[in-house]
Amino acid sequence: MQELNDTQSERDDRMISIDRVGVKNLRYPVQIRDKARALQNTVATVTLAVDLPHQHKGTHMSRFIEVLSSHGPVLGVREISAIPLELIERLKAETAHIEFRFPFFLEKKAPVTGAAGLMDYEVTFEVSATRDTVDFVLWVEVPVTTLCPCSKAISARGAHNQRGIVTFGVRFREPIWIEDLVRLVEDCASCELYSLLKRPDEKVVTERAYDNPVFVEDLVRNVAARSNKQENIVWYRVEAENFESIHNHNAYAMIESEKAIPPTSRKVES
């Protein structure tokens, strides 16, 4: 076989290193562990990247796909944490960063009729690694209902409510269930969302939201307060954005807190 030029390995003389180079928006079938069915099939949008020293012209893009494919479709904390470490070795890099973003489905039953429907939540596994450490952040995006306390207090009839989205990221000591993070967030809102509601259910969720008004500030504080009580969570960032129903803008709040030494400073267990 004819030997082909390895152009990526040629020298670059501009003396500029690259923080991240790799592949992005790669769609890949995965199986995620869940409580109800043990494994859930979904499709992830994947980013894989490493750093590139100033003297190298380019990276070897095919090796990213090779490494990903070698780990199979089952993803958990341990499986995904191994991928950036292998990228570092295969590509002779010092750092690696990967992201798996995918829809995660939960069956939810309506509060009165018990009618079942599927709710989807956006989940991201984000992992950054060096040769000695791995930093894993789990993100969930949870849609919720919020009802304005001020509107309820000043209005003779009703109160304005709206759908919002809570983006919740955590670092943890031991693996944590996606479902548990979703439930934590939903319990902090005026009411959770459902994909299927009959009339008796709609009455209950409407009244539940009215009885439990929260500002966007209340929402992030509620999530923070519950996170502070969980020893397994060592860092969190919670953002809430309300898609206001009486304004042409959104309401927003964010809290970030580090409760202990983050995983990036710890050695990776073999």
Let me know if 115 is exposed, middle or buried by CB neighbors in 10 A (0-12, 13-18, 19+). Answer: middle
Please give the pLDDT value at position 10. 66
Under a CB-based contact definition with an 8 Å cutoff, are residues 254 and 237 in contact?
Answer: yes
pLDDT of residue 263: 47
The answer to whether residue 46 is domain-embedded is yes
Encode the chain (270 residues) as per-residue pLDDT tens digits. Answer: 667 566 666 676 788 999 999 999 999 999 898 888 788 999 999 999 999 988 888 888 999 999 999 988 877 777 888 999 999 999 999 999 999 999 999 999 999 999 999 999 999 999 999 999 999 999 999 999 999 999 999 999 999 999 999 999 999 999 899 999 999 999 999 999 999 999 999 999 999 999 999 999 999 999 999 999 999 999 999 999 999 999 999 999 999 999 755 544 433 332
Residue 146 lies in a domain: yes
CB-CB contact of 138 with 169 (8 Å):
yes
pLDDT of residue 59: 86
Name the one residue in this structure whose structure tokens are 């979703």: 182
Number of H-type helices and E-type strands within the chain: 6, 10
Q: What is the CATH number of the domain that holds 18?
A: 3.10.270.10
Q: What is the pLDDT of residue 2?
A: 67
What pLDDT, on the 0 to 100 scale, is given for residue 264? 47
Contact 56, 8 (CB under 8 A): yes
Domains in the chain, number: 1
Residue owning tokens 């709040």: 253
Going by C-alpha positions, the residue among 252, 225, 230 that lies closest to residue 241 is 252
Establish if 2 belongs to a structural domain: no
Q: What is the pLDDT of residue 79?
A: 81
How high is the pLDDT of residue 232? Answer: 95
Is 148 domain-assigned?
yes
Whether 73 maps to a domain, the answer reads yes
Tokens of 114: 């018990």
Print the domain residue range for 208: 7-265
In a domain, 206, yes or no: yes
For residue 9, the model assigns a pLDDT of: 63
Instruction: With respect to residue 50, please indicate whether it lies within any of the assigned structural domains.
Output: yes
In a domain, 117, yes or no: yes
